[in-house]
Amino acid sequence: MTTLLIVDDEKAVRYAFKRTFGDEYTIRTAENGREAVEAVDREEPDVVLMDIRMPGMDGLEALAVIKEHHSHLPIIMVTAFADSSTAMQAMKDGAFDYVSKPFDNDELRQVIDKALGSCRIQAELHCGCGEEWDDVTGNQECIVGSSPQVLNMCKRIGQVAGSDLPVLVTGETGVGKELTARAILQHSARKDASFMVVNCASLPDELVESELFGYETGAFTGAGKQRIGRFEQCDSGTLFLDEIGELPLGAQAKVLRVLEDGSFERLGSNKRLTTDVRIIAATNRNLEKMVEDGLFRLDLLHRINVLTIDIPPLRKRITDLPDLILYFLSRYGRQVSLPVEGISDKALEKLSCHSWPGNIRELENTIRRAIVLSKARVLSAEDCVLQNRSGSGGDFEQVVSMQIDSLIKGDESRPYHHLLSEVEQILIKKALDLCDGNQVQAANLLGINRMTLRKKLPSA
């Protein structure tokens, strides 16, 4: 049976909890914060309900001590209405939730159930420090790390997974937004239904609507037969719209309509169709800024921004680096003739000093490359080759200098504008080379919109 630890200095309150919930849970009690800390170590409860204002060690102090050694344990703070600001501080300090006195028993049960569910999901999602990776295969992915940022992210996944509301996952390129979407799916009621991924950045503007909504025979030149779109294929399931910020405005309006009432039409048809699909969207762009620039619809942002999960970049959770390295070694270390099983201190120090602009994806590629290059069972600093994202400034300056000399000595009537155009093409080519041809990443590197980049490409 689930064990609840009730922490309150009032005997009547502790008795009321026992009487109300004693048939549903195993109840343990403590009179103050210090007793609570000892009881957590002794009883190993599943959930703690703790008053904030208590003599001696109060609830906030006890919360900090407990979280230091039991980071996964959900703690629900109980507070008087006047203490709501203090309760919000408790949330920042790691409390799962708070309830105000007097509380409704049914509402409290729901909070307890959510806490238990979130704790279970975190245990399934999270691979913490010191875990053995013997069972990890090359195709298996999981969320790795024990930093506060990762723990909060896992908690957030547990909170949003059970809902059918849209979720917006934000974060830089390479942080694992699709992995997060799949984690949400696996703990949702739709986990056994369809799950489809649409990378909005990889679709040409003219094909976006036909991909999402389908089309009828003869809807446009080349439409030889009817096509069912992703929204229709994914009925009753979950659709992951990766890089939703790259959707053209026309497609944004149609996605908004699906979110509003579940309806859409195939291209070339006036027949209204409906779909029951949950949308998880992801972006590495600042959608609020895009709204200001007229590139993203405000009403669509409001619709997809109901539940959000922000994934921190690797440089802000660098304490997870050893866990991540061991994880990737376990996934790929046995795929070479001489299995690689560890990493040297110097190599780890070298990797820890890197800023990781490509985040987890860059780290994964670095470890896979190092495994191939390594001639021993332990990766050395020399094996870990880091990509210099800043490029070679000398080469770039030399090319620009040559362009200036050529223009000034030539017959060009508008050398300034011609030079800007030439330099722009050099920048675009350099950015695309650094990003392996990925237009979205190149646009982000240059600080421009992907559509702007596409218009400036020579083939556009």
Domain boundary assignment for the chain? 3-123, 148-310, 317-379, 393-456
Query: What's the CATH number for 148-310?
Result: 3.40.50.300
* pLDDT at residue 394 is higher than 50: no
Please identify which residue in the block is written with the tokens 């230091």: 68
Q: Does domain 317-379 have CATH number 1.20.120.530?
A: no
CA–CA separation, 326 and 169 (whole Å): 26
* pLDDT at residue 413 is higher than 80: no
* pLDDT at residue 417 is higher than 70: no
* pLDDT at residue 402 is higher than 50: yes
At 130 the pLDDT is 40
Confidence label for 143 from pLDDT (cuts 50, 70 and 90): confident
Please identify which residue in the block is written with the tokens 């203490």: 83
Q: In this predicted model, what pLDDT tens digit does every residue of 93-114 receive, in sequence order?
A: 788 888 887 778 888 888 898 8
Same fold, 3-123 and 148-310: yes
At 122 the pLDDT is 65
From 13-27, 103-117, 247-261, 321-335, the region with the lowest mean pLDDT: 103-117
At 47 the pLDDT is 94
On whether the CB atoms of residues 240 and 280 are closer than 8 A, the answer is: yes
CA–CA separation, 180 and 156 (whole Å): 10
Architecture of domain 393-456: Orthogonal Bundle (1.10)
* pLDDT at residue 129 is higher than 80: no
Average pLDDT, the chain: 84
Cβ burial, residue 121 (10 Å; 0-12/13-18/19+): buried
Query: What's the CATH number for 3-123?
Result: 3.40.50.2300
**69-96 residues labelled b (16+ CB within 10 A) or e (exposed):** ebbebbbbbbbeeebeebbebbeeebbb
Residues contacting residue 402 through CB under 8 Å, at least 6 positions apart: none
Stretch 373-391: mean pLDDT = 80
Confidence label for 401 from pLDDT (cuts 50, 70 and 90): low
* pLDDT at residue 250 is higher than 80: yes
CA–CA separation, 227 and 229 (whole Å): 6
Q: What is the DSSP letter of 218?
A: T
On whether the CB atoms of residues 64 and 93 are closer than 8 A, the answer is: yes
- What is the DSSP pairing of strand 307-310 with strand 278-283? unpaired
